Amino acid sequence: MDNQYQHPSPPPPPHDVAVVVVPLPAQGHINQLFHLSRLIAAYDIPVHVVGTTIHNHQAKTRLQGWDPNSIPNIHFHNFTIPSFPSPPPNPSLQQTFPSHLLPSFRATSHLRHPTAALLRRLSSQTRRVVVIHDSLMASVVQDVVSIQNAESYTFHSVSAFAIFLFYYDGMKKTTSLLEVEESVENIPKDIPSLEGCMNSEILEFIAGQYEFNKLNSGNLYNTSRMLERPYMNLLDRILPNKKHWAVGPFNPVSFLSNDRHVCLKWLDKQEPNSVIYVSFGTTTAFTDEQISELAFGLQKSNQKFIWVLREADKGNVFEAVKKLQLPKGYEERVRNFGLVVREWAPQLEILGHPSTGGFLSHCGWNSCVESITMGVPIGTWPMHSDQPRNAVLVTKLLRIGVVVREWSKRDDVARSDTVACGVRRLMASDEGVEMRKRAAELGGALRRSMAEGGSSRKELDCFIAHISR
């Protein structure tokens, strides 16, 4: 048998309820579920995190705000699966979805049997086994239905707004649509379609998970009703047979760091709200021409910046990484007001630093939640998946961001003047000042929602009470 189960530690003692967490092996997905594991473990419930050896190590290495080895009731299970292709990203493809990661996604099918073995072992030791799985890992946990004292919950890694729109698209031309539309008066009419957001391969992969998601007992979201109440309420209405819990933000809302990264030391020397943080996540691949235009745009903006410039993740992030090229002499020319970082950067801590006043982002939901939590407005430059719709949520509905790169112009190179204009609008305009004020207020409210008595804390308490019933 190709799969070998490796015990990370002695078997845990019997417990009333055990939770098994199954992330998709992509950084934005893994990160969110690791943070959720910490929240659940705080209720004295043992949490078992399932993954490949590579991807669990990836998540632990990059985790911010807490030490995953410091919480005794979080147990990491490293499963060995057959090797899978790990091709480099191809920035020349017209479709910007990171299709080079699909081999690692497909390889997760080999996690099914060792995960089922773990579930059966835990089911004999506990009154109830609760599985929380990424929506794109539903087939891996399909054996839950064969275990009498087990149940599963789907985690959606995107905003409630994006999930609602997915169902809303499917409801068009149905009799139930009118009632929903009457409740969504403020949704813009020009919402981007899903065309260009994903390629046929990932759509096929998603479709393969859809049937298994129907087996769940409810849905979890990394958001707060304080932040997305209209869309959570709509999900409650259009999916009344499922329970929905908005228990975010998952990420720590305050943290102490013993090892201060070079970025944080650089930020210590800057004025409050004077620096724009530039990062396009772990799946964005830019051409050399686009990197050059972005570089000159940041320079032209005359705004201080931290730019994380790394090759997009491969399926195995520990393989050699290509160094992306900047225009000759660029880093020397901007050294008085810009810092280019070519290694993994502590994004959460950078966003939480008082000198950071804006975030130029691809609008992945993980990044959006971290930025909103820290009260930092966003310059939007969506690349694929749910990102164009998250950009609408940020700019038009929450009004804590500006459009730097129009999704409708995704097939063209964004020129330096466009970049400079967008950055100045966010960082050096009266409009930007107002957005920063709104973002700070929203961030404060979001952090309070996780405190005792807050809406998200109440919802998390409700979920814990439900699975412990």
Contact 220, 156 (CB under 8 A): yes
DSSP letter for 324, please: P
Q: Using CA of residue 303, residue 306, residue 310, residue 316, what is the dihedral sign?
A: negative
Q: Write down the catalytic residue from 134, 353, 384, 386.
A: 134
Residues 29, 48, 110, 362: which is the catalytic one? 29
Residue found under tokens 């990424």: 134
List, in sequence order, every residue forming a beta bridge with 278; answer none if it has no partner. Answer: 307, 360
* Three-state DSSP state, 122: helix
What are the CA-CA distances from residue 350 to residues 18, 177, 271, 344, 450 (Å)? 34, 42, 14, 12, 21
Q: Is 134 an annotated catalytic residue? A: yes
Q: Phi first, then psi: give them for residue 333, nearest 5 degrees.
A: -65, -30
**Chain centroid offset of residue 415 CA:** 28
Q: Report the candidate in 394, 357, 388 with the shortest Cα–Cα distance to residue 374.
A: 357
- What number of other Cβ atoms are within 10 A of residue 153's Cβ? 20
User: Can you read off the two tokens belonging to residue 68?
Assistant: 């995953």
* Amino acid identity, position 414: A
Cβ–Cβ < 8 Å for 109, 89: no
Give the residue numbers annotated as catalytic, written as ranges.
29, 134
